[in-house]
């Protein structure tokens, strides 16, 4: 039986304040954990029945299923990240009013980010048809130049009210706003609020198109979209746990996410889709 995306416990109205985002300096909280052995691989993982997390960068390479165990491999630091996307072969995040490009990835690579410009009050980011877009101050913005010294090089490409997540999926640009999924029509100066409803999306905090499927994070779960378009409603199926996830990106064939001020990559064991979450240690 298909599970449905749950409505949030509290009605929240997101107020987005303006484009204009100094990176990375929050302590990582710890959580109680017990070492257990994975019977399939023999590797040691750590489980936490409390599922108390603080923010990290994780990466995934496996398949998503409510029955499968999912694991996440630490790939570096990622403090105070509000959005993430892969763009022109590079991985970018927004944090502390800046746009940052990732250098090395993997355990022990630390805080290897380079400043690529300003990005004030960004709530969502996506690479779409070769261009980099963000939402900020109830507007959709397209990036011009990227790199050190490029500053606040953004141009207004339309309205985007109260957006909490954004993704380019099958050639279309989608956002989540006010518990709905919306598809963009025209893009550019003067195009206004050209969005058409594409279904329900309650309490979504992150969204990504990965291997041809659209995923969101809501209520500490990962959900995969079924049908898209007017009248398709709440067509989501549960795809795993995603406690504390603040951003996701599909990069080099793998799924990366930010949780507990770390960047993580999905691999095949460890991050359980059941209540007793586990975290693989590499």
List CB contacts of 245: < 8 A, sequence separation 6 or more.
205, 206, 217, 220, 222, 257, 258, 259
Tell me whether residue 7 is in a domain: no
- pTM tops 0.85, yes or no: no
Number of domains in the chain: 1
Within-domain flag for 113: yes
Question: How deeply is 232 buried, as exposed, middle or buried, from its count of CB atoms within 10 A (0-12, 13-18, 19+)?
Answer: middle
Task: Give me the pLDDT at residue 241, please.
Answer: 86
- The answer to whether residue 25 is domain-embedded is no
In a domain, 23, yes or no: no
Look at 28-32, 72-76, 181-185, 214-218 and tell me which has the smallest mean pLDDT: 28-32
Pick the closest to residue 28 from 244, 259, 261 (CA basis): 261
pLDDT tens by residue, 180-212: 999 999 999 999 999 999 999 999 999 999 999
Residue 1 lies in a domain: no
Is residue 216 included in any domain, yes or no?
yes
- Taking residues 24-33, what's their average pLDDT? 30
Q: What is the CA radius of gyration of the chain?
A: 18
- State pLDDT tens for residues 84-108: 999 999 999 999 999 999 999 999 9
pLDDT for 35 beyond 50? no
* Euclidean distance between CA atoms 149 and 113, whole angstroms: 15
At 160-171, the pLDDT tens digits run 999 999 999 999
Which residues face 128 on adjacent strands? 131
Domain that holds residue 250: 34-280
What number is the average pLDDT over the span 4-14? 38
Q: Is residue 41 part of a domain?
A: yes
Q: Which residue has the tokens 């999926």?
A: 169
What is the domain-level CATH number for residue 166?
A: 2.20.25.650
Query: Whose CA is closest to 165, among 193, 191, 196, 201?
Result: 201
pLDDT of residue 276: 27
Q: Residue 12 domain-assigned?
A: no
């Amino acid at each position: 039986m298909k599970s449905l995306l749950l409505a949030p416990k509290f009605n929240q109205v997101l107020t987005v304040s303006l484009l204009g985002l100094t990176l990375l300096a929050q302590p990582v909280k710890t959580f109680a954990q017990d070492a257990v052995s994975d019977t399939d691989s023999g590797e040691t993982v750590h489980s936490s029945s409390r599922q108390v997390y603080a923010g990290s960068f994780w990466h995934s390479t496996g398949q998503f299923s409510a029955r499968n165990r999912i694991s996440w491999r630490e790939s570096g630091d990622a403090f105070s990240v509000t959005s993430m996307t892969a763009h022109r072969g590079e991985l970018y995040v927004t944090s502390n009013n800046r746009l940052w490009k990732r250098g090395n990835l993997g355990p022990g690579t630390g805080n290897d980010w380079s400043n690529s410009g300003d990005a004030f009050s960004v709530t969502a980011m996506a690479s779409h048809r070769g261009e980099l877009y963000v939402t900020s101050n109830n507007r959709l913005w397209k990036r011009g130049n990227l790199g050190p010294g490029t500053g606040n090089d953004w141009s207004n490409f339309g309205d985007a009210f109260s957006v909490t997540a954004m993704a380019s999926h099958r050639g279309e640009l989608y956002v989540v706003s006010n518990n709905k999924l919306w598809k963009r029509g025209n893009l550019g100066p003067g195009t206004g609020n050209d969005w058409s409803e594409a279904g329900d999306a309650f309490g979504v905090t992150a969204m990504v198109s990965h291997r041809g499927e659209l995923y969101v994070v809501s209520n500490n779960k990962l959900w995969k979209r079924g049908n898209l378009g007017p009248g398709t409603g709440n067509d989501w199926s549960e795809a795993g746990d995603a406690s504390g996830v603040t951003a996701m990106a599909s990069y080099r064939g793998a799924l990366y996410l930010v949780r507990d001020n770390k960047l993580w990559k999905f691999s095949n064991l460890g991050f359980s889709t059941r209540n007793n979450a586990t975290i693989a240690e590499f």
